[in-house]
Every structure is written in structure tokens, then in C-alpha cells.
Structure 1
Amino acid sequence: MNGNTRLRVLFIVATAFALALCPLWTGARAADPIKIGAFFALSGPASSIGTPTKLVAQMVVDKINKEGGINGTPLELVVGDTESDPTKALMEAKRLIEAGKAAALIGPTRTDEGMAVKAYIEDTAHIPIVMTIGGDPVIAGGKFGPFKWTFKAPQRTSVAARKTYDFIRSLKLTKIAVLTATDGFGKDGLTWLEQLAPEFGLEIVAKEAFGVTDTDMSPQLLKIKASGAQAVICWTIGPAGARVAKNVKQLALGIPLVQCHGQPDPKYIELAGDAAEGSIMPSTKLMVVDQLPDSDPQKAVIMEFIKLYTDVYHFDKQYPINTHSGYAWDAIYLAANAMRKVGTDAEKLRAAIEQTKGYVGVSGVFNLTPEDHNGLGTDSLVMVKVEKGKWVLLKP
């Protein structure tokens, strides 16, 4: 065999060997990640809620990927900032879907943002979104439009209102006053408080409202004080709730202050100071996990969440855990669990989320139906009270 022949043989052998390895190389290439669009208020008035929600979303995606992703395919979080603005929220939703190629969306932060996005999701985008907002309109149907593609992780406003009213009824009270914010969340709260009052034998003797940036609610509270109300229910999120608590104390109202499910937050106690003492409100179990019985199915999940949040990622150093903290965890798991079953085809994914049963999350045990795109009942909430600057579980 001469030199040229020897070179040809070596070339043929090398080529055959390379071709034999090609399938191995192709199989070893990492699959393209599944993209989840996550858009929250990372700036603006609601950033204190939106920023830690984004951090939790990334924490959950990291956890899922470390455990093998979605049947071996990793998730990728594509993030957007709504700037606490409904118009910007819509723009970000479009960007994440049309340019970011997200298979599902998580977010936004406030009810008004969610409503701005909903029509685009339902009429045009047709991909699932699991919202992390408090208000009901996004999944209320009727005059609020269809919600085929829209889900939400936090409890319904109606569920929180029922939990609140059940507690007030247990105190043998019959006359109440309501003080609600003029934003979408506050208006939604007022709607349900008015609608459900007769069912619980309660009479609303005073009804007042305030803007979320108002600094003094004394005029409204003076009217409530003169109304003969036996308790006042305040429905708002953010610092406004603490301002109400301070005004209640300053005016020596002398009746219980019941805040809504958006207020269980160390920030509330910090901002309200001594005025927070005695405040009562519905809360996710996250705030009092150490006071839950070991038999509670959520306890282990919540403890795992807290360990990651505080001991591994140390998010608590800047953003102490509050009742909102688990919403992104639950939202992403609702989507991810469905992806494991059916993949990322939009219609199949939507249907799988809608069929979720028995998912034990941070905020409750989820059981969704075509009529209920939240799936949480009043048993997902507990009533808590601020005592000596701590959250105390009130026994039913």
C-alpha cells in the first residue's frame, strides 16, 4: 500500500467514525429552554411587591431546573417591568409573547395592570397566563369578559371577603363600616363586601373611600365613628393600610380594625408602628406557619419555601416574607406541573392548568375548574392578629 492509498484509507475511516458519532453529538446538545414570561412592577409604587415576586419566580425556576426541568428541558424566565402602570403592563405582555416567544406568562402585580393585559390575552395572544394579582375581575366573567386563558394564584377577593365576614359574625357583630381604596383592588373589595353582607347578617352603616396616595383618612373615619359601626373593614394594599391604622388610633375609634388579605406584611407593622397593635386580617398560612399543626398539608411546602427564601437566597434581608411572597411560587408551579403532563402546546397547556386538582402550594391547596380559574377556598386563609409586633394565629 503506497502513501496515497494509506492516506485515503485513513480519511475514509476517520469520516466513518465521525458520522457514527453525529447522532451522539446531536443527542447531547441541550434542548432549547421553555420560556416563561414574568412581568411585575419592578419600579413605581408597587415595586415593593413586584420586585420580591420576581425574585421568587427566579428562585422557583432555578429549583425546577435543578430537579430536571420539564421532563429534561430547562425553563427560562424572561422578565419585564410593568413600572406599576397598566399601559406598560400591556406593552410588556406583548413583548414577552411576540418577541420573547414565551409559552406562558406569570404576573403582573396590580389588578389594574391585570385588566389591561386580559383582553389581549383572551382576544389575540391565546396563551395561558397565571396572574399574581389580588382582584377578581380578571377571572370573574360576565361584564368583565371571558377568562378562558386567564388564571390567578392569589385568593379571590370574594374568598377573602367571606373569610373576613365569617370572623366578624363569630364576634356577634351586625353593623360594619367599609373603607376602601379607589383603585381596581379597592373597588373589587367594595363590590364583594356589599354583595356578601346580607348573607352573613351584616349591615353596612358607613361606606367611605380614599385614594391610595392619600396621607390622611381622618375625615372618612370621623364619619365612620359617628355611624354606630361595630367594626371597620379597610380594603387596600401597600402603605395606605398603615396610614389608616394610624388614623384609627389617633381618633380613638374604639372598634376593631379589620384589614384585608393584602396587608399581612412586616412592612405594615413597621409603617403603622404602635397603631398596628390589635389589627386583624385574613392571611395566607405563610405568615404563621410555625403555629400550624404538623397535620396541615401545606406546612411542609411552606417550610421548604421559607428555607429557600431565607437560608439559601437570603431574600429576607431586603424583602421580609409577607403574604404576597408565595404567589409566584404557586403561579409557576401551576404552569410547570401542566407542562410536565402535556408540553407547551397552548391549548393543551391551558386545559391542563384548568384541570389542576390537589396541588399543594404556598397559598393553599388548588382545585381548579372551568368556572373557577383560581381554585382556592376560605380554608386556604387564616385570620391573624398583630400582638406585640408579631403575627398571631386566631383560632376558629
Structure 2
Amino acid sequence: MKFTKTIGLTLCAGALLATLPLASSAQIKVGVTVSATGPAASLGIPERDTVALLPTEIGGQAVQYIVLDDATDTTQAVKNIRKFTADDGVDVVLGTSVTPASLAMSDVAAETGTPMISVAASAKLVEPVDGPRKWVFKTPQNDALMARALADAMVKQGVKTLGFIGFSDAYGDGWFQEMSAAAKAKGIQVLGDERFARADTSVTGQILKLLSASPDGILIAASGTPVALPQRELVNRGYKGTIYQTHGAANNDVLRVCGKDCEGMILPAGPLLVADQLPDSHPVKQSALVYKKAYEDKYGAGTINTFGGHMWDAGKLIERAIPEALKSGAKPGTPEFRAALRGALEQVHELPASQGVFNMSPTEHAGLDERGRVMVKVVGGKWTYQPDL
């Protein structure tokens, strides 16, 4: 990887992916851990690559980004945040890519009094805002917000019964809880709850159980390229109902891995995924296109990735909050500054970003509303905006 201008690259024992920029003079330090390898690599790689696009000066202060790979491993993610806080003296942590590791990291964030902005999706990371969650914010849309969009789409498509297969971890747990509630509110019966691990290579048994119940639709609650495993199995088994995915599937690598078996699947996604297709009146179109242009100017046409957008949005949050924290008079690298930064993040209001418009508060650490979601269907191998769903 080659970075331009003031951005440098440092490798250390295969773990430290990048130190950006001005390591000797940076006054504000940002620790970033992502799953650049392992089952969630299709999420972590664009998140990592987006760091090179984040501002290197905020509020008149130089900013240093220290980027580590946690390999989609919870233990490594915790080691990374402990390194950031104990050895590097960071002012804020961004990451990580997946929910289980982000949940584990939140305890360290609270213990050390370090603001953390996760790029994982589960509402459990920030709800309710108490205990360790007082120090944790996140940029992906909450499961509940997306589950309600799915339930609305299912009603329009005449779905009365729903099968469920999801990750056997906190991501799947959160989605089963939220989708069950959203489905019940719309009179949709959930017929099954099957699970699989992120690294599994077969889900035949689980799919056969779901098919025996003959649901009108099936939701796959997973993220990254592992979503292709149950999708492909359902198609190959001749399932004729509607296959739904979560916003964890909003990834071009999914289309590549899944191929024609993805055709027709429906999911809620952030506006970034189909920004070019949105009407000019959409409140997120212009801010989403800013990130899309920046990313594709650096990495090539068609490389834009919705998960990278979550990291961009984390960058937008600290870009808004750091100047406010500096007004407190606290110096970067101190507990006082970290506390001021946490407080400033809670005051972010009407911030347009790539995936929505953020409004944080002392009781809201996700901050996205219906402006942060659209319905999408795979048509002709491409993500297609579905304004009528």
C-alpha cells in the first residue's frame, strides 16, 4: 500500500498495519483496530483503507492514526485496544469490524476512560447508555432500525411466515431479538431459529430444517462474505420464497463470492450503497457521494464499500467533536481531554455523513434515523435501489 503526501506506512511484526501520519509530532492519537484478515476481512479491508482518507489535521492539531489488524479475533481486538491505551496513549479508538470483539473492547474503553467509536452494527454496543456503554459510540445503523424496514418490506410482499438463520454469536442474537419483535408487530410469524459460525463451510442441516417449515421468506442474519453460504444453499435447494439479508451483506465482495445465487435477495442498507441511484432530494445523497468520490479517486472506480463508509463516518464524528473538546482547555493525551471528547461526541447534531445524518445525545450513541436506510435488491448482479419497498 502506498500513501501520498504526509501519510507514512510502518509495519511491525505483521500486526501494525499503518501509522498515519507525522508520528513524531502528532498531538492527537487515534487508535484503529479492524478485521483486515479472518472471516470479516471483506469488512475490515475497506475500513482500513478508508483511514488513509481521514483528516490529518483537526482543530489546528496534527492527528496520528495507529492501525492494527485483529484478524477477526476477539482476544486480539482486546490486546489491540490495551496497547492503544497503555502504550500509545490514544485519545480515541475506532473499531472494530465485528460485534463480539467490539463488545469485549467496550470494557477496556470504560476501564481506561477512552472514547470508542465502533464500526460494528449491534445495538447492544450502545443500548442502554450506561456502564461501559457510556464510552462507546457506533456508526452502523442499529439492528432495530433495519429490522423495521425489513418487516415493512415483508408486509408489502405478502410474507406471513419467516425463517431465520444467523451467526451463532452476538450479531445473530441481536438480529433474532430485533427481527422477532419487528415481525410480531406486523403479524409475521417467525418459524425457526438456526445458527452457524462465521468460519463454517456447511449449513445444510440448518437449511433443511428451515425448508421443512415452508416459510414465505427467510432472513440470513450474517455479515461479510459468510452470508453467501446459506444464500447459496437455499438457492441450490430450490427455495422459492424470498431471501432477505441484513445490512451486513451490503458488500461488493458478497456479490463476487455469491454470484448468480445472490440474484433477487433483498436487504436494508445505508444510502451509500446506492448513492448514485438516489433522488437529488435524498438528505444523504450529497454527503455519501463525497466519500464515494474520495475512495474511488484513491482506489479505483467501483471500489466503494459500505463498510468503509462506517469508518469514514467515524472520522466525521471525531472531526466534528475534537474542536469542541479542545475548547475545554484540556490537552490531548490526558484523561481530561478524553472525557471532553466523549462529551463532545454526545453533542453532535445533524451531521451528514456517508450512511445517514447523526444526532447523538447522552442517551443516544448511535444517532441514525430513517434517513440512514434504504431498501435494496440484487437485480442483474447489481445493487438496485427499491423505493417502493
TM-score per shorter chain, which class?
A: 0.7 to 0.9
Q: How does 1:1-396 map to 2 (within 5 A)?
A: 32-60=26-54, 64-65=55-56, 69-122=57-110, 124-141=111-128, 145-311=131-297, 313-314=298-299, 320-343=303-326, 344=332, 345-396=337-388
The one-letter code of the counterpart of 1:243 is L
Displacement of 1:327 in angstroms is 0.6
Rounded Cα–Cα distance in structure 2 between residues aligned with 1:32 and 1:178: 48
Distance 1:31 1:217, change over 3 A: closer
Displacement of 1:116 in angstroms is 1.2
Q: Contact (CA 8 Å) 2:77, 2:101: kept in 1 or not? A: yes
Task: Map Cα deviations across residues 217-272 of structure 1 (whole Å, 9 max, x no partner).
Answer: 23222222221311001100122211212111111111000011110222111111
Task: Map Cα deviations across residues 306-328 of structure 1 (whole Å, 9 max, x no partner).
Answer: 111112x11668xx322212011
SS in 1 for 2:106: helix
Rounded Cα–Cα distance in structure 1 between residues aligned with 2:157 and 2:368: 25
Displacement of 1:278 in angstroms is 0.5
Q: Contact (CA 8 Å) 1:160, 1:282: kept in 2 or not? A: yes
Question: What is the root-mean-square deviation in Å for CA atoms of aligned residues?
Answer: 1.8
SS in 2 for 1:166: helix
User: Runs (4+) of structure 1 moved beyond 3 Å?
Assistant: none
The one-letter code of the counterpart of 1:314 is Y
TM-score normalised by structure 1 residue count: 0.85
Query: Which has the greater radius of gyration?
Result: 1
Displacement of 1:205 in angstroms is 1.6
Rounded Cα–Cα distance in structure 2 between residues aligned with 1:288 and 1:369: 29
Residue of structure 1 equivalent to 2:15: none
Identity of aligned residues (%): 27
Task: Map Cα deviations across residues 312-355 of structure 1 (whole Å, 9 max, x no partner).
Answer: x11668xx322212011111211221111222512221111011
Displacement of 1:35 in angstroms is 0.9
Q: Which of the pair is proportionally richer in helix?
A: 1
Q: Identify unmatched segments of 5+ residues in structure 1.
A: 1-29
Rounded Cα–Cα distance in structure 1 between residues aligned with 2:231 and 2:242: 10
Q: Contact (CA 8 Å) 1:84, 1:110: kept in 2 or not? A: yes
Rounded Cα–Cα distance in structure 2 between residues aligned with 1:118 and 1:301: 29
SS in 2 for 1:351: helix
Q: Identify unmatched segments of 5+ residues in structure 2.
A: 1-23, 327-331
Task: Map Cα deviations across residues 81-139 of structure 1 (whole Å, 9 max, x no partner).
Answer: 212111111111111122111111111111111111111111x2112111111222211
Rounded Cα–Cα distance in structure 1 between residues aligned with 2:240 and 2:26: 61
SS in 2 for 1:324: helix
The one-letter code of the counterpart of 2:193 is K
TM-score normalised by structure 2 residue count: 0.87
Distance 1:58 1:294, change over 3 A: same
**Number of residue equivalences:** 356
Task: Map Cα deviations across residues 116-164 of structure 1 (whole Å, 9 max, x no partner).
Answer: 1111111x2112111111222211238x954111100111111121111
